[in-house]
């Protein structure tokens, strides 16, 4: 650069900043399919022409979470054409690269001896190309594996409650200039908002002070991709959440181009919002000229230079109110059409005058927002047919709206929503439920909203299945934990499920509304399939007692058995529940046991009923000792089955006394009455001739009662 001397160039770090390229947007539209790629090609060309040290992208490089092969190939071709060359890289990364780039290779791409990288590209992910699936991979991971992009800012949510993240900067040094580059890929705004307001949930790592370089000598840059302005402050990130030691912030996700850095009062840092390089929504904010930012950093000072993008398709936007136009008759539809035709023609002429290079004249985008209060509407598709070949969007030139009755407040909300193009013309489940005064009785509204988002935007075919299974198991555990299942009838079960839903929603609100992220589809289907194939409801004990060996090695032919390998496999799968998509909650303990029951509503307090069943069986066995050895084997078989199900203590080991009884061991006593009338009807007063029927009834009752049991780790049981 002619303005800088050679000595200054050695100490000046030059960065080109761009966000929201949305590669692959409208790739099936014959007119606009190449727009995103042409803009990205121009951005890379500017980076080469300005001889920048690296290109910094602020998320949403791809428009789709799973971009097509055509989109991937074109993106790789552009990056390969501009990034792989013999130009030397003038800066060095001095931080621990295995932490900054947690992939297989663990280093910045230009240090790979097998590649000649002349233009390094650093990128975070956005909400469109965020990590998903079992392996928590993003489309940007593909470019990272190809050694074309340095992918950073992928967070692993750890801790409990709302979660915990740690931001470790990439430490870059060029001459006497030191830059700490922090990256924060997109996290759901509501969750990140709560994390910033939770103490120690977001931790920032600072570079250590060294000789000749103090902590204050570093120029700190943050790149993030979140909502910046929102009618609901809980769904956006406030600038005041960010630490004051930051110097410069690159804000992605907002498509309106506000590239000139603005200082945040009282915070000390500046924010730039480059906006998108391609118009993905025909709104006023997208009609402003598109720019990228050249950032020159020397020491603790920086100089911004905005560079316009010339390859972007021209876009003209206007708003008209029909009742304010004097030449329109409210009863004459032709007068409305004639007036709108004049407006469209004026916008097309205005667009053609702005074009600098006539050889690359493009069909413009035209959008007219029409307030038709007191007037009749016309067919937008029929109106646009006459402009085929004249504009790029003939099918949606017009959009009709009415003035809000609520007045200015509604207008303010609309203005803030303009800045969020991917959310326009969409309605979430929460809004639908609120509008229609519905009451959710089975599934929480937030969970359905997340499932719908994953199904539509991330093409997750199992999103709703995972949502239902997650809530089904949570409801089972809640019911099993609260009360005795035998104390309410089937018709009360629906009411109980509704109560559980309310309790679970309240618990989430109390515990910082811990974000619900369902298990990823593939792993969940494997998990659920393996559990279903096992004997349903068989309790797995983690005890390495000799009783467990005895129970698993019993000669019972009809009682259920749990082999050690099956127990290990089930415990492993149980401990991994809740993982997936990179945002899920880990299991609270590797020793936590979960039993998948075939029916709802069986609780731990059924231990007393099961003990009563076994006690009565033992009494029957003692009374019918004259029936011979087959009867003894039969009782032994039932005891073995209950031992597998209940993991009863061995001789000399005490067990908590059942509720409603005095202290004592699990051995039965003659004459003790059962607390449960159903058990009494089943076993008391039976003849010896009904032995087989007794056995079947006992086994059915024992199969029903499946509380979660731990023998050695009883203190962990809730």
Contact 16, 47 (CB under 8 A): yes
Give bridge partners of residue 203 from the DSSP assignment: 166
Contact 83, 120 (CB under 8 A): yes
Specify the pairing of strand 219-225 against strand 177-184: parallel
Distances (CA, A) of 588 to 198, 480, 600: 20, 18, 23
In 3D, which of 204, 197, 267 has the Cα closest to residue 239?
A: 267
Give bridge partners of residue 92 from the DSSP assignment: 173
Contact 278, 29 (CB under 8 A): no
In 3D, which of 396, 17, 415, 423 has the Cα closest to residue 227?
A: 423
Question: Does the active-site annotation cover 128?
Answer: yes
Contact 493, 601 (CB under 8 A): yes
| Cα angle 535-541-547, degrees, rounded to a multiple of 5 | 110
565 Cβ partners below 8 Å, 6+ apart?
none
How is residue 127 written in tokens?
Answer: 């909400």
Question: Which one is catalytic: 22, 125, 128, 255?
Answer: 128
Q: How far apart are alpha carbons 323 and 330 in whole angstroms?
A: 8
How is residue 358 written in tokens?
Answer: 């006539």
Helices (H), ranges, 254-327 = none
Contact 290, 17 (CB under 8 A): no
How is residue 102 written in tokens?
Answer: 């947690």
Q: Work out the burial of residue 354: count CB atoms within 10 Å of its CB; fewer than 13 is exposed, 13-18 middle, 19 or more buried.
A: exposed
Residues assigned a catalytic role: 128
């Amino acid at each position: 650069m002619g303005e800088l001397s050679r000595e200054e160039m050695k100490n000046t770090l030059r960065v080109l900043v761009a966000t929201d390229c949305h590669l692959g947007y409208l790739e099936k539209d014959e007119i606009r399919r190449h727009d995103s790629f042409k803009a990205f090609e121009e951005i890379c060309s500017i980076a080469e022409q300005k001889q920048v040290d690296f290109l910094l992208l602020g998320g949403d490089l791809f428009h789709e979470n799973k971009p097509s092969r055509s989109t991937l190939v074109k993106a790789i071709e552009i990056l390969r054409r501009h990034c792989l060359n013999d130009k030397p890289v003038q800066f060095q990364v001095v931080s621990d690269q295995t932490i900054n780039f947690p992939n297989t290779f663990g280093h910045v791409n230009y240090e790979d001896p097998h590649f000649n990288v002349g233009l390094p590209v650093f990128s975070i992910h956005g909400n469109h190309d965020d990590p998903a699936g079992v392996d928590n991979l993003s489309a940007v991971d593909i470019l990272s594996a190809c050694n074309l992009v340095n992918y950073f800012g992928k967070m692993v949510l750890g801790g409990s409650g709302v979660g915990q993240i740690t931001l470790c900067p990439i430490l870059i040094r060029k001459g006497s200039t030191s830059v700490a580059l922090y990256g924060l890929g997109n996290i759901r705004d509501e969750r990140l908002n709560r994390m910033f307001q939770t103490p120690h949930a977001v931790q920032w790592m600072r570079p250590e002070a060294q000789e000749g370089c103090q902590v204050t000598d570093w120029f700190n840059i943050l790149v993030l991709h979140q909502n910046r302005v929102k009618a609901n402050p809980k769904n956006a990130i406030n600038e005041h959440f960010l630490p004051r030691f930051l110097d410069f912030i690159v804000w992605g996700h907002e498509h309106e181009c506000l590239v000139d850095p603005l200082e945040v009062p009282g915070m000390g840092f500046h924010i730039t919002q480059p906006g998108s390089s391609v118009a993905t929504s025909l709104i006023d904010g997208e009609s402003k000229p598109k720019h990228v930012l050249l950032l020159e950093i020397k020491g603790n000072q920086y100089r911004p230079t905005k560079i316009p993008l010339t390859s972007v398709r021209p876009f003209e936007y206007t708003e008209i109110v029909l009742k304010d136009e004097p030449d329109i008759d409210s009863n004459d539809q032709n007068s409305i059409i004639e007036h709108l035709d004049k407006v469209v023609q004026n916008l097309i002429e205005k667009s053609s005058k702005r074009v600098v290079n006539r050889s690359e004249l493009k069909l413009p985008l035209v959008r007219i927002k029409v307030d038709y209060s007191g007037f009749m509407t016309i067919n937008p598709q029929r109106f646009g047919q006459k402009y085929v070949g004249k504009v790029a969007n003939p099918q949606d030139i017009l959009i009709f709206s009415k003035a809000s009755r609520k007045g200015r407040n509604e207008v303010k909300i609309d203005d803030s929503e303009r800045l969020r193009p991917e959310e326009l013309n969409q309605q979430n489940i929460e809004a639908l439920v609120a509008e229609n005064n519905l009451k959710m009785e089975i599934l929480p509204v937030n969970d359905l909203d997340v499932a719908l988002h994953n199904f539509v935007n991330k093409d997750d075919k199992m999103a709703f299945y995972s949502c239902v299974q997650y809530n089904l198991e949570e409801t089972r555990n809640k019911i099993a934990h609260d009360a005795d299942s035998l104390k309410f009838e089937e018709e009360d079960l629906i009411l109980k499920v509704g109560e559980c839903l309310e309790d679970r929603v309240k618990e989430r609100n109390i515990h910082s509304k811990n974000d619900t992220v369902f298990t990823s589809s593939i792993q969940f289907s494997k998990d659920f399939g393996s559990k279903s194939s096992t004997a349903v409801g068989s309790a797995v004990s983690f005890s390495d007692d000799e009783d467990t060996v005895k129970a698993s090695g019993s000669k019972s032919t009809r009682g259920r058995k749990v082999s050690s390998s099956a127990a290990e496999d089930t415990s492993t799968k149980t401990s991994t529940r809740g993982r997936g998509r990179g945002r899920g909650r880990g299991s609270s303990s590797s020793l936590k046991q979960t039993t998948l029951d075939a029916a709802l509503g069986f609780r731990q307090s059924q231990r007393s009923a099961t003990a009563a069943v076994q006690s009565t069986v033992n009494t029957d066995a003692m009374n019918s000792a004259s029936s011979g050895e087959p009867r003894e084997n039969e009782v032994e078989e039932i005891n073995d089955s209950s031992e597998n199900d209940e993991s009863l203590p061995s001789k000399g080991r005490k067990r908590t006394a059942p509720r409603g009884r005095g202290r004592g061991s699990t051995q039965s006593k003659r004459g003790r009455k059962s607390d449960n009338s159903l058990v009494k009807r089943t076993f008391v007063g039976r003849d010896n001739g009904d032995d087989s029927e007794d056995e079947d009834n006992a086994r059915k009752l024992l199969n029903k009662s499946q509380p979660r049991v731990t023998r050695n780790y009883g203190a962990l049981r809730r």
